[in-house]
Amino acid sequence: MTDAVGSIDMPDAEDEAPESKKRPRKGGKRGKKGPLGRLALFYRQIVAELRKVVWPTRSQLTTYTSVVIVFVVVMIGLVTVIDFGFARAVKYVFG
């Protein structure tokens, strides 16, 4: 059974391009540029990606920052308590 595009058994005509028409790529955009050209391309790609980022508002940023600081302080307290507990246990066992 075939559909408008073709079937698995019978590929479309575009899929059967002869090997003589296919040429290997030689680097694309970066093929003929020197190191400064590649660096400029890299910088332009970074700027393009940063424009896609959804940046948080100031209130979101302060909320996220305070949550992280509170979490870090709680974890520091927990590790300190566990450390003091292990220190007392070691002192008790080994004298």
Residue at 83 is within a domain: yes
Amino acid code (one letter) for 38: R
Residue at 77 is within a domain: yes
Residue at 36 is within a domain: no
Residue at 26 is within a domain: no
DSSP-derived 3-state class of residue 66: helix
- What the block records as the tokens of 21 is 């028409």
Give yes or no for a contact between 49 and 41, defined as CB atoms under 8 angstroms apart. Answer: no
DSSP-derived 3-state class of residue 3: coil
State how far the alpha carbon of 10 is from the alpha carbons of 13, 18, 31, 61, in Å.
Answer: 9, 16, 36, 56
Q: Which range of residues forms the domain containing residue 84? A: 56-94
pLDDT reported for residue 92: 94
Residue at 71 is within a domain: yes
Residue at 8 is within a domain: no
Q: Cα(46)–Cα(12) distance, rounded to whole angstroms?
A: 38
pLDDT reported for residue 95: 82
The whole model's pTM is what?
Answer: 0.50
Question: What is the tens place of the pLDDT at every residue in 25-79?
Answer: 665 555 567 889 999 999 999 999 999 999 999 999 999 999 999 999 999 999 9
How many structural domains does the chain have? Answer: 1
